[in-house]
């Protein structure tokens, strides 16, 4: 029996090291895609100011951000978060790398297809993303068997339904299939931006914050806002489909409005529980990046409220302006802030085996920096503020129809991306 213990411990450490590595690979790859997304916005600045939704450079920018950056980073986070937060073991790391390959190939296909106006290439990219989605679901489905908190995990994974809807509609539209035309386009945008990414971030926040911050307030950990998000978004989807099909306008509007109210109520409850959780925390000092994560979540509430109103008239200048803030402001802020919290831990875990403390550097007689100090604060915070500033410039340029503002916003966002990359480089050198 004594001979088996070291081998089991070694196997566990190897599994953890491999899981930390694959998450870093996903997140760093997503960060690479973010730069071309902002650069594509520079090329599309004039078209954006003129409310050209279907301009190739703009479509390339949106999909580089949504698929290349956001989806890739979120996939990597899920691989790490699900086993940790819900207490279990990831089924297959190798399968995760296969999924990674399909995700990256799909993300690369979108800008090529849009810029070359080859819709079959766009459809191929969507199919690759769909394959990666199926692989993720299989990997997580097998992993859920090992989880101690299966019910909570199933509630979170139910949000994957919205990603599936988004991908299928995107493939159908790129192939020219008759999927309701405007209805399919509206649902593709609303569900892709809000139903999937926003819902997943909000649904995971109670689990993550209770994990990051020790508090006497236990309701945050046990709250399940994802059911309000799911019900609300499904009502919005149903209302959008009925409205665009001309079937019962009053019923359709009622479903959409009611869905957004339910979704907003879930978001409000989350923010209230989060506020009480921090007020009743056990330790007064809070890691600096957590404050910026919370700031992004609170700032996103009014943005989402305005988006709920604006999304009813997709194609309008006002709707495009709000979408710029929602995607390149709120979503980017939240994903980048969470990434700044997770990456230092993964970097430290990659350098030192699980369960061991870093030894003092004999040459300098200094211990390596703590995890909370590994990523530099100034460039990281400046990058987050740069993302928000760039999004506001984009909004202004779209509303007043001035390309100078949209160009300035894209440039500011690109500079912010450079600063964020610099922060990651410094972290890896520490």
Let me know whether 302 and 340 are in one domain: no
Band of the pLDDT at 333, cuts 50, 70, 90?
very high
Whichever domain contains 245, its CATH number is 1.20.210.10
Let me know whether 332 and 312 are in one domain: no
Q: Count of alpha carbons within 13 Å of 198, Cβ hemisphere only?
A: 33
Let me know whether 325 and 312 are in one domain: no
Domain membership of residue 2 (yes or no) is no
Let me know whether 193 and 141 are in one domain: yes
Let me know whether 262 and 345 are in one domain: no
Residue at token pair 């959780």: 277
| Alpha helices for 117-222 (secondary structure H) | 119-144, 150-157, 160-174, 182-190, 199-212, 219-222
Domain count for the chain, please give it. Answer: 2
Q: How far is it, in rounded angstroms, from Cα 387 to Cα 411?
A: 10
Domain membership of residue 362 (yes or no) is no
For 122-155, the pLDDT digits (tens) are: 999 999 999 999 999 898 888 877 777 777 777 7
Is the four-CA dihedral 67, 174, 193, 129 of positive or negative sign?
negative
Domain membership of residue 298 (yes or no) is yes
Domain membership of residue 404 (yes or no) is yes
Strand partners, 361: 366
Domain that holds residue 131: 11-316
**DSSP 8-state secondary structure symbol assigned to residue 194:** I
Band of the pLDDT at 10, cuts 50, 70, 90?
low
Let me know whether 291 and 349 are in one domain: no
Q: What Å distances lie between residue 156 and 81, 228, 260, 397, CA to CA?
A: 11, 12, 19, 37
The proportion of the chain whose per-residue pLDDT surpasses 70, expressed as a percent, equals 90
Let me know whether 312 and 326 are in one domain: no
Let me know whether 291 and 424 are in one domain: no
Q: How far is it, in rounded angstroms, from Cα 167 to Cα 191?
A: 10
Residue 265 has pLDDT above 80, yes or no: yes
Mean pLDDT of 206-229: 88
Domain membership of residue 19 (yes or no) is yes
Let me know whether 25 and 144 are in one domain: yes
Let me know whether 133 and 259 are in one domain: yes
So what's the pLDDT on residue 29? 97
Q: What are the DSSP E strand ranges found in 13-76?
A: none
Domain membership of residue 3 (yes or no) is no
Mean pLDDT of 255-279: 95
For 45-86, the pLDDT digits (tens) are: 999 999 999 899 999 999 999 999 999 999 998 888 877 777
Let me know whether 385 and 344 are in one domain: yes
So what's the pLDDT on residue 179? 47
Residue 327 has pLDDT above 80, yes or no: yes
208 neighbors 221 (Cβ within 8 angstroms)? no
Per DSSP, the three-state class of 310 is helix
Domain membership of residue 4 (yes or no) is no
Domain membership of residue 333 (yes or no) is yes
Max Cα distance, the chain (Å): 75
Mean pLDDT of 225-245: 86
Let me know whether 104 and 180 are in one domain: yes
Mean pLDDT of 260-288: 93
Residue 292 has pLDDT above 70, yes or no: yes
């Amino acid at each position: 029996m004594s001979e088996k213990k070291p081998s089991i411990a070694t196997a566990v450490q190897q599994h953890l090291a491999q899981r930390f590595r694959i998450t870093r690979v996903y997140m760093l790859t997503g960060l690479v895609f973010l730069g071309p997304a902002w650069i594509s916005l520079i090329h599309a600045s004039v078209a954006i100011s003129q409310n050209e939704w279907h301009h190739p450079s703009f479509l390339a920018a949106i999909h580089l951000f949504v698929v290349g950056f956001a989806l890739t980073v979120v996939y990597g986070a899920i691989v790490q978060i699900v086993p940790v937060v819900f207490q279990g073991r990831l089924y297959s790391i190798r399968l995760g790398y296969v999924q990674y390959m399909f995700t990256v190939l799909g993300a690369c296909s979108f800008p090529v297809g849009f810029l070359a106006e080859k819709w079959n290439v766009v459809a191929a990219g969507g199919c690759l993303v769909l394959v990666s989605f199926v692989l993720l679901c299989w990997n997580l489905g097998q992993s859920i068997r090992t989880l101690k908190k299966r019910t909570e995990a199933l509630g979170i994974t139910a949000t994957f339904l919205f990603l599936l809807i988004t991908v299928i509609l995107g493939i159908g539209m790129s192939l020219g299939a008759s999927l309701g035309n405007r209805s399919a386009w509206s649902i593709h945008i609303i569900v892709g931006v809000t139903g999937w990414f926003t819902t997943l971030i909000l649904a995971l926040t109670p689990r993550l914050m209770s994990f990051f911050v020790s508090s006497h307030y236990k309701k945050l950990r046990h709250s399940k806002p994802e059911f309000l998000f799911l019900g609300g978004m499904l009502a919005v989807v149903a209302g959008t489909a009925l409205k665009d099909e001309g079937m019962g306008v009053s019923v359709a509007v009622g479903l959409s409005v009611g869905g957004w109210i339910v979704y907003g109520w879930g978001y409000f409850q989350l923010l209230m529980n989060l506020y009480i959780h921090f007020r009743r925390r056990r330790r007064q000092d809070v890691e600096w990046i957590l404050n910026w994560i919370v700031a992004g979540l609170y700032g996103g509430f009014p943005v989402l409220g305005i988006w709920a109103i604006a999304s009813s008239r997709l194609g309008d200048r006002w709707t495009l302006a709000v979408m710029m803030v929602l995607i390149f402001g709120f979503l980017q802020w939240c994903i980048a802030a969470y990434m700044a919290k997770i990456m230092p831990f993964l970097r430290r875990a990659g350098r030192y085996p699980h369960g061991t403390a870093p030894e003092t550097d004999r040459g300098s007689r200094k211990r390596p920096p703590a995890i909370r100090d590994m990523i530099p604060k100034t460039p990281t915070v400046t990058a987050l503020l740069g993302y928000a500033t760039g999004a506001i410039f984009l909004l202004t340029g779209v509303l007043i129809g001035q390309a100078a503002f949209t160009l300035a916003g894209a440039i500011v966002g690109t500079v912010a991306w450079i600063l964020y990359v610099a922060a990651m480089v410094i972290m890896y050198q520490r």
